[in-house]
Amino acid sequence: MSDKAPEAKEYDRPAGGWGSVKSLIKSELRDRAGPGALETLRRQNKPGGYMCSSCAWVKPPAPHTFEFCENGAKATLWDLTSARCTPEFFAQHTVTELREWSGYELEMEGRLTHPLRYDPETDKYVEASWDEAFAAIGAKLKALDPKSVTFYASGKAALEPSYLYAIFARAYGHNNLPDSSNMCHETTSVGLKKVIGSPVGTCTLEDLEHCDAIFYLGQNPGTNSPRILRPLQEAVQRGCKIVVFNPLREKGLVEFVDPQHPVQMTVGKPTKMHHQYLQVRPGGDIAALMGVIKRVLERDAEAEAKGRERILDEAFIDQHTTGLDEFLATLKDTSWPELERASGVTRAEMEAAGDVYCNAKKVIGIYGMGLTQHVHGAQGIGMLVNLLLLGGNIGRQGAGCSPIRGHSNVQGQRTVGITEKVKLAPVEKYRELLDLETPEEDGHTTVEFLEALLAGENKGYIGLGGNLAMAVPDHEAVHEAWQRMELTVHVATKLNRTHLIPGKESWLLPCLVRAEEDLRSTGNQWVSIEDSFSHIHGSMGKRSPASEHLLSETAIVAGIAAATVSGNPKLRWREWAEDYALIRDLIARTWPDQFHDMSARMIQPGGFYRGNPAHERIWKTESGKAEFTDPTVLNACGVGDAQGRYHLVTLRSNDQFNTTIYGHSDRLRGLEGDRMIVLMRPEDMVAANLAEGDRVSLITDTGRDAEPTRAVEGLTVVPYNLPKGTLAGYFPELNPLVPLWYHDQLSKTPASKGVPVRIEKTA
């Protein structure tokens, strides 16, 4: 960690631009990466190349020379580090000792090189062979009750290993298949599905080329999906208006220079990205959108009275939707002052945003964690859909609803059967194609896995990627229970803190990354991933692996499965592990409409589109129609206001990928040097008698009795432009403050964006 005092400077340059190129080029990352790493980057996100393992943004059919962004390049170079974390390293350090290291220090040890077994006698990880690992894990799994074991997936593994993982779980005997989506866009998988029948976004890249307005809520593109900035910039340049809802003024949505554009980089002016920026308070989107809708209805009534063209698409509403009247009754009963209080923005701001909607023929809604990670997150999504439905803005060109996904294949993992919900799994096809009878009861979400863990009922864990114990809420209780598991297995690229909480028997299995060659007996293997716009792309690595002992995720999953479930000749684990095209054939036969001829189509430029019924105005909802949401709350936070209580937003910096910390520069926010900070509005600081640089603790304040004390100490106050009553700081450092029970009501996604806390000055 750096000793430098934190500072918040206005970052006075646009997102993208030289800043991002310099940050990449001068970065020590490049020096750390092995030879040829920059050459490798040229193949990123290209047909015939490998797909970036950072975000899930689309891979266009006609890519630029360098189809990557600062952060995608960082992620790849980081994977390709020349540092190696070898058995010799583990011989020198006990696990107890390594637990004192920061996540960053562990990362810096580099790529894992050998399968490792935890030896409780010496408290060290020791080298093992793959055969030993598979046999021991298989034996242990057979000894455990399958229902007491959870198979987690972190959203990176490709479609082929994911499909195998899902059938492995079910052949073994459970549906405990949570993935990172359960902390992320599960609110979408459940909430968006509920209202439009589709668990994923309805837009394609083409829609972005035709829209007149974009409502952009709770997503930070400059850091988390930088490649979206170029199509957004093009949209703005042809007159599309972007209305942003976000408590923070995020740089990428303020202004942008395309780093791939030579003229703009040298003499061009940055593009102002937003038409309007509503700095809502945490959870304020439901009310803010209701205000926007109030304005839209007023303007529509006016148009109708004057015989002008209506703003509401009445034909669409009649034919395709249900529930409007109930919602309108609630809206009528809600006053402007109530909406202002709950949203943190003014009536005038909401009205101005309403006017943008009225003046646009085609509107897209885009959102991220700012909507999904709330106790009433699904209602936020529902309200955005309400707004879109009024103008018939779903299921036609230039319009739609577009969640921006997190991990590069998190959407795809759900698509190919990694789901704890039986009704979403292709059980009939499993029966038909694999003679596989699958368990009937739903499995664990991430939160339910943790509940079972805390209750002592979850005895085994396999993690296909991830640093789960750090990514989840309530660290203290979870970490204590974690080590009581009988078996913990991690398939990973680098050492992280979760690996240092071994269960009674524990294995660390090192895998290839996407840019690396995956040579099996039938040759170098293709894998495939699905992006945020439901396009499937082939990916092939060409670099030589970080160690000769690495296996692909596909081979590892198949290896464990073969040692655990035997006796069904249709489960051809060993053959699948030698030729992944056989797995793609199975995927194609499981979902023929979407995946036919998968191996051929996925390597076309731009991949292939899997399709989406809502895009065609086919609503796979309970009512068979698109459903208006009648809100039960005006603010999405689960705990309301009280004296001395703030709502804390936990954020990613520009220098991290989830729990992987690359450095201590949050460049686009002008924050340098430290991650143990709490951002606070200057006026709130005065009211709380706090000054810049003060040391403070945050304490969770749910207003509930008999709650354990949840606190994070040693934070430094940094003044920042935020709405009243709002604090912000970094994930995962602040995760101990989030109670496990504090999650989206519909989907159980932890509510990391509106955590009720008090702030106390350290004496």
Ligand X SMILES: Nc1nc2c(c(=O)[nH]1)N[C@H]1C(S)=C(S)[C@@H](COP(=O)(O)OP(=O)(O)OC[C@H]3O[C@@H](n4cnc5c(=O)[nH]c(N)nc54)[C@H](O)[C@@H]3O)O[C@H]1N2
Site for Mo ion, rule CB under 5 A: 184, 406
| From ligand X, Mo ion, none, interface partner of 364 (C-beta below 5 to 8 A by class) | none
H or E, element range at 303: helix 285-305
Contact flag: residue 513 with ligand X (CB under 6 A): yes
Structure letter (DSSP) for residue 725: T
Instruction: State the nearest-atom distance from the C-beta of 278 to ligand X, in Å.
Output: 8
| Residue 80 vs 586, nearer CB to ligand X | 80
Do residues 279 and 723 touch, judged by C-beta distance below 8 A? yes
15: its two tokens: 């997102």
DSSP code string of 174-229: -----BGGGGTTHHIIIIIHHHHS-SS----HHHHTT-SEEEEES--HHHH-GGGH
Site string for ligand X, 561-600 (x = CB under 6 A): ----------------------------------------
- 169-228 residues near ligand X, rule: CB under 6 A: 180, 183-184, 217-220, 223-225
Q: Which of residues 46-105 bind ligand X (CB under 6 A)?
A: 53-55, 71
For residues 279, 283, 287, 292, the Cα torsion angle rounded to the nearest 10 degrees is 50
Spatial CA neighbour of 283 closest among 629, 730, 634, 681: 634
CB of 719 to ligand X, least distance (A): 16
Return the number of the residue (293 or 471) whose C-beta is nearest ligand X. 471
Q: What would the x/- binding string for ligand X be over residues 635 to 674, using CB under 6 A?
A: --------------xxxx---xxxxx--------------
Buried b vs exposed e over 256-280: b needs ≥16 C-beta within 10 Å? bbbbbeeebeeeeebbebbbebbbb
Region of 218 (left: φ > 0; alpha: ψ -120 to 50; beta: rest) is left
In the complex, the smallest distance separating the C-beta of residue 355 from Mo ion, rounded to whole angstroms, is: 34
Of these partners, ligand X, Mo ion, none, which one is at the site of residue 612 (CB under 5 to 8 Å by kind)? none
Select from 91-99, 324-332, 399-407, 537-545 the region that touches ligand X (CB under 6 A): 399-407
Please name the residue that has the structure tokens 């009648």: 630
Q: Of the listed pieces 318-326, 429-437, 461-469, 534-542, which binds ligand X according to CB under 6 A?
A: 461-469
Task: Please report the DSSP string for 630-685 in residue order.
Answer: --S-SS--SS---TT-EEEEEE--TTEETTEE--SEEGGGTEES-SSEEEE-HHHH
- Pick from 87, 110, 283, 398 the residue near ligand X by CB under 6 A: 283
Q: Closest separation between CB of residue 450 and ligand X, Å?
A: 12
Q: Least distance from C-beta 155 to ligand X, angstroms?
A: 6
Tell me which DSSP letter residue 616 carries: G
Site string for ligand X, 226-265 (x = CB under 6 A): -------------------xxxx-x---------------
Closest approach of ligand X to the CB of residue 101, in Å: 13
Nearer to Mo ion, 181 or 539 (CB): 181
- In sequence order, the β-bridge partners of residue 758 are 699
User: Look-up: residue for tokens 């309400």?
Assistant: 386
Q: What contacts 334, CB < 8 A, 6 or more positions away?
A: 290, 634
Binds 399: which of Mo ion, ligand X, none (CB < 5-8 Å by kind): none
Determine the Cα–Cα distance for residues 3 and 673; give it in Å rounded to an integer: 8
Query: Under DSSP, is residue 692 helix (H, G, I), strand (E, B) or coil?
Result: coil
Nearest approach, Cβ of 263 to ligand X (angstroms)? 27
% helix / strand / coil in the chain, to the nearest 5? 40, 20, 45
Residue entry with tokens 């809520």: 217
Q: Give, as ranges, the residues between 721 and 740 that touch ligand X (CB under 6 A).
A: 731-732, 735, 738
- Choosing from 516, 553, 694, 701, the residue that interacts with ligand X (CB under 6 A) is 553
Rounded to whole angstroms, how far apart are CA atoms 239 and 212?
Answer: 7
Residue whose CB is less far from Mo ion, 117 or 414: 414
Does 753 bind ligand X (CB under 6 A)? Our answer is yes
Q: Which residues bind ligand X (CB under 6 A)?
A: 53-55, 71, 154-156, 180, 183-184, 217-220, 223-225, 245-248, 250, 280, 282-283, 285, 368-370, 373, 404, 406-407, 464-468, 470-471, 491-494, 496, 511, 513, 553, 649-652, 656-660, 731-732, 735, 738, 752-754
